[in-house]
Structure 1
Amino acid sequence: MKKIIVASILMFSGFINAQNFQGVAVYESKTSTADFMRGISGNREITPEMQKQMEERMKKMFEKTFVLNFDKTASIYKEEEKLDAPGQQGGGRMMMSMMGGGGTFYKNAKDKQYIVDKEIFGKEFLIKDSLPKYNWKLEGESKQIGNYTCFKATAVVKVSESDFRNFRFRNRNNENKEDEKKSETIKDTAKAKKTNFTDDWELPKENTITAWYCPEIPVNQGPENYWGLPGLILEVNDGKTVILCSKLVLNSKEKVEIKPATKGKVVTQKEYDETIKKKMEEMREMNSGPGSGNRMQFRMSR
């Protein structure tokens, strides 16, 4: 396990309660690509060379570094800035956004509100909504993350429909024989029609989250939209994605202004999810017709 680099370990109550208290945590996010590659490998049109290139690209897309700046009540979580790699414009940028990247995630634990700015195909959104309520179960189990003793907590949550990381590859082997026969009949009568690989994906309704929080740092903040525990969350695992703190600095001389973004069309999380679902349907339709190839382009409605 990667050790946390501790720049300051002055854990006095007065230190945390100081008016100008601020900290910064760096998180490494890694998402398993097994489901995605299993779906791709079933496509006969993809050569071994193409699959290898996809695996390399997937790995880069699913391994990210984020920075969390926080004080006693609020935080800003943002992906570490990098130069855009080739192919990260258009549909690639949308996929990045749908996998937890892009934009600035602002959380205010006092007001119980979050604000996220997202840009997709040149259209800016400003998602404003109430922080999700986690029914955390404190397990009592502990482990060391770097120099800190952390405690385990779990919660069952409703999955986000706009986060592509939540999709699972459907196991066709578990379907009954009737469905298999029906599927074969469809294949036989529509050989000329190009199918879409997204037909093999499904979205679970709920997911179990495991978090490890540090009471030594008594702020109820964490990466992404995770919060509400009696200590900074240093690790989160949802079964596919692991977010682990790799560096922690407390009360650095360099202060960061913790405030939300203000640009973009204001929408709720539900409205944003509906927009993403609509665009995903457009992508499916454009890639399911004969001769569509790998076309993934569409326009955002203004």
Structure 2
Amino acid sequence: MKKNLLLKILFLVSCELCFSQDIKSIKVTYGKYMKSLLDTTKTNPKQLKDLFYVLDANLNESRFEFVKRLDIDNYSNKRLIGRSGGDGVYYKNLNLKEKLHQKYFGDKEFLISYDFNRYNWKISKETKIIGNYKCYKASTSYSFYSKLADNNFEVNIIAWFTPEISIPFGPAGYDGLPGLVLEVQIGGFYFVASKIQINTKVEIKKPKSGIKVTSKEYDKIIETSFDGKLD
């Protein structure tokens, strides 16, 4: 991004933040959607039935997790809960500069620590309205090597965030932008906000149990177990 464009976006963001200072906490419900990467039309992605997630956040902490239901074993989309993020508990603390993901692999529970600023976002001037909020587009990507396929893969990520809610969190650890992420696309999967509760009471518990590993150590465990097949 050109320097002058970045300065313009940051100026617009800072102006909009002036109107969001009274927001101290939020509870956001996201639905999960999917669309084939081969589909180049403008058709909307398909919502995956009964897959909903909740983000609880205040000005310093956030916790994101799947909304469990009693009939989970009957889900036709159960296998898609964790695809491109969504399994386990995601936690972030701004003051402590801590980013954690608690999840099970097999019968073992892990507590994975990630780089605090995991994604190098590029903010564009493109905007759209989600709900009642003006959102800015941001993009990034990450790559991984699959030993099974003996190939490197790159995953593109597009996020839409609103500086009108100056809480810099988002679904499944896709955060670090100057505002709340209301929609994010990871390859062919999407998290889209369907309900936003502002200044509601939230309880944010930091996950503590599990085998403590770094993200690189966890990836190595997956690679050893599944010959590099990552979710």
- Give me the TM-score of the superposition, normalised by structure 2: 0.74
- The root-mean-square deviation of aligned C-alpha atoms, in Å, is 3.1
Matched, 1:225 2:173: yes
Report if the CA contact (8 A) 1:132-1:225 is conserved: no
Q: Give 1:111 deviation, angstroms.
A: 2.9
Counterpart AA for 1:251: N
Q: Distance in 2 between matches of 1:112 and 1:65?
A: 27
State the 1:14 CA deviation: 4.6
- Report the CA distance shift for 1:160/1:117 in structure 2 as closer, same or farther (over 3 A): farther
Instruction: Kindly state the Cα deviation for residue 282 of structure 1 after the two structures are TM-superposed.
Output: 10
Q: 2-side partners of 1:201 and 1:282: how far apart?
A: 9
One of 69, 76, 79 as aligned partner of 2:66: 79
5+ residue gaps, structure 2: 1-17, 39-47
Q: Secondary structure of the equivalent of 1:69?
A: strand
Q: How does 1:135-214 map to 2 (within 5 A)?
A: 135-155=120-140, 157-159=141-143, 203-204=152-153, 206-214=154-162
Unaligned runs of at least 5 residues, structure 1: 1-10, 36-58, 162-166, 168-197, 284-302
Greater helix fraction, Structure 1 or Structure 2: 1
Q: 2:9 matched to 1:24?
A: no
Which residue number in structure 2 is paired with residue 134 of structure 1? 119
Letter in 2 for 1:113: E
Which structure has the greater CA radius of gyration? Answer: 1
Question: 3-state DSSP class of the match of 2:114?
Answer: strand
Selected match of 1:267 from 182, 202, 213: 213
- Looking at structure 1, the residues matched to 134 and 81 of structure 2 have their Cα atoms a distance apart, in angstroms, of 33
Whether the aligned pair in 2 keeps the contact of 1:109 and 1:221 (CA below 8 Å) is no
- 1:235 aligned partner: 183
Q: Which amino acid aligns with 1:207?
A: V
Aligned structure 1 segments of 4 or more residues deviating by more than 4 angstroms: 11-14, 95-99, 198-203
Q: Is the 8 A contact 2:148 2:228 kept in 1?
A: no
Once residues 278 and 147 of structure 1 are traced to their aligned partners in structure 2, the CA distance between those partners, rounded to angstroms, is 46
Structure 2 CA distance for partners of 1:140 and 1:112, relative to 1, 3 Å: same
The SS at the match of 2:227 is helix
Q: Which has the higher strand share?
A: 2
Number of corresponding residues: 201
Does the 8 Å contact 1:131/1:225 carry over to 2?
no
Equivalent residues of 2:125, 2:136 under 8 A apart: yes
TM-score normalised by length of structure 1 = 0.58
**Percent identity between the aligned chains?**
35
Distance between the aligned counterparts of 1:96 and 1:142, measured in 2? 29
Determine whether 1:68 maps to 2:71: no
Q: Does 1:122 align with 2:125?
A: no
